[in-house]
Amino acid sequence: MNSTQSPAKVLVKAFLLLSLVAFAPSVRNQAKRPPRWDRESLIATAREIMKTARYCALITLDSNGRPQARTMDPFPPEENMVVWLGTNPNSRKVAEILHNEHVTLYYFVSEDQAYVAISGRARIIHDAKAKARYWKDE
């Protein structure tokens, strides 16, 4: 508290701030709300953005809990929204996933100003058949 302000002034300022906060929801509700989407529409829209975007960002957490993002070249999402990514098993991202499997994939399509972020659990797959199916030469 500022030594030049009386406790009464501070209390009045706090009351005014609290009063303004109380009115905030009614002011926010005056703005037009976007339409509510059902689950199927959201997933279909997310899938379309994911298919259109050439790359995505894979976001993992490092050993200090800081997010680390890197550009990846994903396969299109499967029916159940599983996304396959190929990478070097000795990479830092694999080590981070082994330490914490929670990841986020972020897709952005600049032409449409559209994006989607999906979160889930990553698994490291060492299966030779999967590698042959989900590998890109580039």
Contact 92, 70 (CB under 8 A): no
Lowest mean pLDDT among 21-35, 77-91, 97-111: 21-35
Residues 81-99, mean pLDDT to the nearest whole number? 95
The predicted-structure confidence for 10-61, as pLDDT tens digits, reads as follows: 444 444 444 344 444 444 455 666 678 899 999 999 999 999 999 999 999 9
Report the candidate in 112, 100, 117 with the shortest Cα–Cα distance to residue 56: 117
- In degrees, rounded to 5, the angle at the alpha carbon of residue 48 between the alpha carbons of residues 45 and 54 is 140
pLDDT band for 4, please (50, 70, 90 cuts): low
Q: Backbone phi, then psi, for 42, in 5-degree steps?
A: -65, -45
* Percentage, residues of the chain above pLDDT 90: 64
pLDDT at 138: 73
Check whether domain 39-133 has CATH 2.30.110.10, yes or no: yes
Q: Which pLDDT score, from 0 to 100, does residue 24 have?
A: 43
Average pLDDT score over the chain: 83
**Angle, CA of 52, 57 and 63, to the nearest 5°:** 160
pLDDT band at 5 (very low <50, low <70, confident <90, very high): low
